Amino acid sequence: MTASRKSVVFAMAFGIAYCVIYVICTEVNLPLLTYHPATGDVGLFYQPPGRGPAMYWYGWLLTALIGASALALIATALPEPWVQRVITFAAAFAVLYLIAYTAALVIYERATMELDFLKDRSWSAIVALGFAPLVTLFMPGAWMQRIWPGWLWVVPLGAAIVTTYYLTPYFTR
């Protein structure tokens, strides 16, 4: 039996939202709990290492699980074109932010004077926030009718690239 449209929407929204929230959790360190493997202790939210190392990975999984489940449930209650529009906006924001921040860092490195404000991420976020609605607005109407299933490989691929990129210090030491 083929999957119902609501379950497909839930599955797609869940996968996309989970990837995004998970990347944020790893970057900002937002674990729902902390596990201390040496002692077997579990603590709520972030806790510093005690006797032995602390593990946040399980906490990130749970934070992303709760967030993604909530967003996916909301997505099933909304008209599909709205959900597609929100995903398009978020994807455009992420790409534009990446471009703006990379450009800001390149300018900062090559400038002959001190432009410290360029290192502030909020400027890049503001630029992305300004242009993302335009990208969303100029998308063809036919494309906005249903959730594009291709998001299910585009967003996870982006998440894989970003999380791997953040780990480059391990490979350049």
Partner 1 sequence: MVFWTTLLILHALLAVALLGAITHQTVSVWMPVRSAAGSFVGRYRAVPSHSYATAVVVLYLLTFVLGAWIYTNYRYTSRLALEQLRFFKVVGAFEVKEHLAVIGLVMLPAYWCFWRQPLAPDHAAARKQVTLLLAVLVWANFLIGHIVNNGRGFGS
Residues in contact with partner 1 by the rule CB under 8 A = 1-3, 7-8, 10-12, 14-15, 18-19, 22, 26, 35, 37-38, 52-53, 55, 57-58, 61, 64, 68, 149-150, 152-153, 156-157, 159-160, 163-164, 167, 169-171, 173
> Of 127 and 152, which has the nearer Cβ to partner 1?
152
- Shortest Å distance, C-beta 102 to partner 1: 21
DSSP state letters, 89-146: HHHHHHHHHHHHHHHHHHHHHH-SS--GGGG-HHHHHHHHHHHHHHHHHTS-GGGGSS
Answer yes or no: are the C-beta atoms of 13 and 70 closer than 8 Å. Answer: no
The smaller minimum CB distance to partner 1, of residues 61 and 98, is found at: 61
Report in angstroms how near the CB of residue 28 gets to partner 1 at its nearest. Answer: 15
**Closest listed residue to residue 107, CA positions, set 127, 93, 88, 90:** 127
